[in-house]
Structure 1
Amino acid sequence: MINLPVLVKKATLIAIIFMLLFFCWQAIKMGKANLNFYSTHQLTEFWLEHELTERNQYHVALQAIERANNEHPQNPQYMVTQGLVYEWGAITSLFAGEQQKQQRLIQAKSYYLDAIALRPTWPVTWATLAILKWRLGEIDQELIDYLKQADKYGPYVMEVHQAWLEIGFYLYQNKSQYTVQVIKGLRIHLKEMLKQANSPFAHSAITIIKRHKVEQLACRWLNSYDFDTQQQKSMLCL
């Protein structure tokens, strides 16, 4: 006679073994994905300090983050990182050809959008999207909306401040029709960045001001601030 309880126990044991094997495999995939992600992340952090100067280094980073996304798809942090690598490839002087650079920016944008779809409250990704559209020359309402989303979710985040200043001053200098939508926010973000004279925020703001050649405008705004601005004025105002 067939011993049903024994068969049930065997079937249950087999099912448990298969489940354990499945979870072990998933853990291995996750571990490999994390290793690939961190190797790419370390390179992108290195490029912030030393810039990207080696083609091989770029390709190593791109291949690693591609493996991470293949091993663990639907991870917004991995998506953002792959977009960031494509963006580095577009802004570096290592690769010639405007068409290739534009293509890399478009690829970066697609990864940022995918990440935002999964994590719509990440302010830095919204700010990054805004900067990327600016680099693509896509000056439109969508760009303004990206800035506003960044401000909504991270009004005191460094990258959000920087995006507002870079794009806001560009729109102001070029007399864009969209200036009216950003001028108030631009003034707020500039004030927040300049509050602490010796902070990284203030140094970043001054660098952006000088790059856009808007020292006179910034000086006028400094006069309306309710804190001591002597040090900031000494770096910006004649």
Structure 2
Amino acid sequence: MKHILIIEDDANIAELERDYLQLNGYHVTIIADGLIGLQHATSGTYDIIIVDLMLPNKDGFEILKAVRGKSEIPVIIVSAKTDDIDKIRGLGYGADDYLTKPFSPSELVARVKSHINRYERLMGKNTTIEIISHKGLEVNTASHQVFVNGKEVSFTAKEYELLVFLISHPNIVFSKDHLFTTIWKEEHFGDTATVSVHIQKIRKKIEKNPSTPQYIETIWGAGYRFNV
């Protein structure tokens, strides 16, 4: 799971960023102090850093310069400063992107995905997971095959997509609405039966006892999660 560091002293903004990123399968650490954020940014292992410019003790420019002295990982500046000089300065110090507050959380997620993918391509990393395995369940994403205790099980396209999405984001609860829009790529208008039916079908194929599932758990009032 990709790990994102958010250095932001506005708790409301930081929590909004965190919630949207977690819904998209990212692990998020929030730091509200510039000095502590600098220590984390230069000593921790993160896939991308999101940093505000105006922070207590150390500003975002200082953090950015320190990171660039050690690493080329993506850095996105999120700031209320709208002057071109600040954008030019931030990009000149090596920021990969600059978002002005207020911004769309969905846009932030899209930019995070884009910069992580671009960085991994530049570094020559293989971002394609071919085998996902857990407690007798194995998914080969290269061949689109699913095996349960070594025996191949047939899945429809949507069943397979739903299973891969859940198993690729372990221990994260996803609402039926989120799963519907992610897998079916359509707006949700109140009918979550499609997701429920597909979850039931998947359980029948992978669970030893579908009525007491060990893989895909129902979180009442919230949605589903894949247990590891």
* TM-score grouping bracket, smaller chain normalisation: 0.3 to 0.5
* TM-score, L = length of structure 1: 0.33
Higher strand share: 2
1 or 2, which has the higher helix percentage?
A: 1
Select the structure of larger CA radius of gyration: 1
User: What's the TM-score once normalised by structure 2's chain length?
Assistant: 0.34
